[in-house]
Structure 1
Amino acid sequence: MGPLRGVRVLEFAGSAPTAFVGTVLSGLGADVVRVDRAGAQEGAFGPNPLTRGRRSVAIDLKSRDGVERALSLAAHSDVLVEGFRPGVAERLGIGPQHVLGQNPRLVYGRLSGWGQSGEWAERTAHDLAVLALTGALETDPETGSPVLPPSAYLSSFAGGGMAHAQALLAALYERSHSGRGQVVDTALSDGAALVTTLVHQWRSAPGVHTVTDAPHYAVYACADGRYMAVAAIEPRLYQALLTQLDLLGVPDLADRDDPAQWELLRSQIAARFRLHDSGHWVKVFSAVDAGTVPVLSAEEAAHHPQLAARNAFLELDGGRQVAPASRFGRTPVAAPGPSPVPGGQTGEVWDEWVR
């Protein structure tokens, strides 16, 4: 089931962003086979949503026989995904020059920290370093605080895995016209920079204030130490916010259109939120659209009525996981299967794909 039904994806186990690509494509209905190293341990860290919904084969890529088996599987694949450092796949004998000759329709995906080119290509690329170098951690000169939080999601998954999955799908679409595959090179740094497009635009003009600096787009502490997130950008939302906070008509209320007054306004809003605990504010804002919502824990998010209505979470592998994101009207996707035992389907996949 799903729009990618019939598409075969060969995923070489490695980094978390690469695994996320496999999860995304599997969630869209692709037949994803994960190549685990021989002797890999099952569930070392418990059920892993980054390996769910696919089958696993065990291959020793350091042996000639293992490389031959990998090449045989690649010859029967539509997409190959690897997250090795530049040059590793070539040294193993499974690089593009080894694979595309026998399967010219293959989309060969390469996902790495800094990409396949440039003087940093072989450097280690952890999330914090990628975010720092791409401008995502630029500090606000007025407050000294980062403009965006140092979240791994921005580089590893949004900038890396999701961008790579999108590029692979684009290459598959192009192949439907040309009949030819190609190499797709995605860097976490490229994707993270793309995700921060507006940040770069905003910061390119000295003295320009943006909504991310504004007091009506911020997080505020409540009396119990929990937080409420305020995203009251539109005037109607802002009016509703002030109404619920009982700030309408306050004589010295700061002007939200004047950045010079933002700190005063921020302090006024913060003082109101500190008057009551989060439960009070959740109740107050639940019946009105004021762009103001509670900051939830992962456990609380899974039970929120809106997310529950969308079936955003599912029970899998004995625990809760996030469901595939998009809904398809004509080609619905099936619920993802559990994480495979490393190498558990080696014979099955070989018989189905190769023999």
Structure 2
Amino acid sequence: MTAGPLAGLRIVELGGMGPVPFCGLVLSDLGADVVRIHRPAEIDRPGNPVLGRGRRSLVADLKTADGVMLVKRLIDRSDAMIEGFRPGVADRLGFDSDALRAVNPRLVVGRMTGYGQTGPAAQRAGHDINYLAASGVLGALGTADAPPLPPLNLLGDFGGGGMLLAVGVLAAVLQARISGAGQDVDAAMVDGSALMMAMTYGMLARGTWPRERGTSMFSGVRPYYTTYRCADQGFVAVGASEPPFFRALVAELGLSDVIDVARQTDPSTWDHQRTAFANAFAARPRDEWGRRFADVDACVTPVLSPDEAPDDVHLAARKTFVRTTDGHPQPAPAPRFSATPTAAPRPASSPGEDTDAVLTELGVTAEEIAPLRATGVVA
């Protein structure tokens, strides 16, 4: 039996890249039964073993009437469908929201795009970096002496994209269970990444956010909120913004006679502070600093690589990462629930691995599946 707070929820995921699969991962991690629709061309392509986890896979050719019909039968029995095509494409394939809800009135249709379903740029191509640029996020990142750099593709594709699509779908499903009527969810990465800047825009409105890039408290310009290189070329992250943490930082580094803690926020002292901190951290290797600050509330943390993070003592104790059968680490489902805990994620299905099982659940017999397979409608 499926575990997690979303057990019993059924989702159809029309295959895509980035944000839609991440939304499917989040929902399946929390217990939803998510069936991912792959194209026949994907049958021999290795997928992402983490991003594709937890869902069953049905390969169906959506360019054929029979393929669309089968997926519609699956959607008719589901709570939601999520897709990431450009606006209008899913409708042209045969997945028009109104037509789907004529059969399944409570159906929620989650549509994930970069620029949204409406507006002058709705049909424009783009990637994470473009959506961050348009929403004001990219313009706030980086230092003043270098061009802006995107934080991987975390804020557009995943945080402002797939995660908010999941939130929107769940909100709409909850409303459908109250009202009996489904709806469309227009999740745009420009909207989501802008929303993640809520605190920044609030500070901007109050006049407490600098308009010059690379001068904010989070940009690394302050010597007590930045990173430092260590003797072994590793790094530590320092976030000692509050006075108690700053005092603890200065004391543990042995700089109490060098740095005036009362002048922490005085910009005229920052060059001196930065030099003193840099010289101190450069004298010892990263992991030694990690041990020295492990029990000191100074907000100092070793900067771990993705290879190292799963073995961190705290993360290992919390089981923040789990390992696949071949020993590779992957993030565990999050968040955690006291009454309806989630299960360990099932490995990613190969494209089409669950085709027969899903079709059988739909009432398609083995005799009916055989010609569909022979003609390439399913695989």
- Residues 82-113 of structure 1: CA distance to partner in whole angstroms, max 9, x if unpaired? 00111110111112133122111011100111
Which amino acid in 2 is paired with 1:340? S
Identical aligned residues as a percent: 42
Q: Secondary structure at 2:308's aligned position in 1?
A: helix
Counterpart of 1:320 in structure 2 is 329
- 1:150-299 matches, within 5 Å, as 150-203=151-204, 205=207, 208=210, 210-212=216-218, 213-250=221-258, 255-299=263-307
Q: Secondary structure at 1:100's aligned position in 2?
A: helix
Among 4, 7, 13, the alignment partner of 1:5 is 7
Q: Is the 8 Å Cα contact of residues 68 and 94 (structure 2) preserved in structure 1? A: yes
1:321: Cα distance to partner?
Answer: 1.1
1:6: Cα distance to partner?
Answer: 0.7
Q: Is the 8 Å Cα contact of residues 136 and 148 (structure 1) preserved in structure 2? A: no
Q: Is the 8 Å Cα contact of residues 136 and 147 (structure 1) preserved in structure 2? A: no
CA distance in structure 1 between the partners assigned to 2:29 and 2:216 by the alignment: 36
Q: Secondary structure at 1:80's aligned position in 2?
A: strand
- Residues 233-284 of structure 1: CA distance to partner in whole angstroms, max 9, x if unpaired? 2222111111111121326678222234333322322222122221321222
Counterpart of 2:340 in structure 1 is 331
CA distance in structure 1 between the partners assigned to 2:354 and 2:189 by the alignment: 31
Q: Is the 8 Å Cα contact of residues 203 and 209 (structure 2) preserved in structure 1? A: no
1:207: Cα distance to partner?
Answer: 7.2
CA distance in structure 2 between the partners assigned to 1:12 and 1:261 by the alignment: 56
Structure 1 residue 111 corresponds to structure 2 residue 112: yes
Counterpart of 2:103 in structure 1 is 102
Among 30, 33, 36, the alignment partner of 1:31 is 33
Which amino acid in 1 is paired with 2:123? E
CA distance in structure 2 between the partners assigned to 1:341 and 1:140 by the alignment: 38
Q: Is the 8 Å Cα contact of residues 75 and 81 (structure 2) preserved in structure 1? A: yes
Q: Secondary structure at 2:139's aligned position in 1?
A: coil
- 1:74-153 matches, within 5 Å, as 74-138=75-139, 143-145=144-146, 149-153=150-154
Q: Secondary structure at 1:211's aligned position in 2?
A: coil
The alignment's C-alpha RMSD in Å is 2.2
Q: Secondary structure at 2:223's aligned position in 1?
A: coil
CA distance in structure 2 between the partners assigned to 1:155 and 1:317 by the alignment: 31
1:55: Cα distance to partner?
Answer: 0.7
Alpha carbons of structure 1 residues 149 and 238: separation in structure 2 relative to 1, 3 Å: farther
CA distance in structure 1 between the partners assigned to 2:58 and 2:52 by the alignment: 12
State how many pairs are aligned. Answer: 354
Q: Is the 8 Å Cα contact of residues 139 and 146 (structure 1) preserved in structure 2? A: no
CA distance in structure 1 between the partners assigned to 2:302 and 2:195 by the alignment: 29
Query: TM-score under structure 1 normalisation?
Result: 0.93
Q: Is the 8 Å Cα contact of residues 90 and 96 (structure 1) preserved in structure 2? A: yes
Gaps of 5+ in 2: 365-379
Query: TM-score under structure 2 normalisation?
Result: 0.87
Counterpart of 1:347 in structure 2 is 356
Moved more, 164-173 or 3-12: 164-173
Q: Secondary structure at 1:297's aligned position in 2?
A: coil
Alpha carbons of structure 1 residues 217 and 125: separation in structure 2 relative to 1, 3 Å: same
CA distance in structure 1 between the partners assigned to 2:112 and 2:325 by the alignment: 27
- Residues 64-93 of structure 1: CA distance to partner in whole angstroms, max 9, x if unpaired? 111111211111110100001111101111
Moved more, 6-15 or 147-156: 147-156
Q: Is the 8 Å Cα contact of residues 112 and 161 (structure 2) preserved in structure 1? A: yes
Q: Is the 8 Å Cα contact of residues 254 and 262 (structure 1) preserved in structure 2? A: no
1:39: Cα distance to partner?
Answer: 3.8
CA distance in structure 2 between the partners assigned to 1:177 and 1:264 by the alignment: 61
1:21: Cα distance to partner?
Answer: 0.4
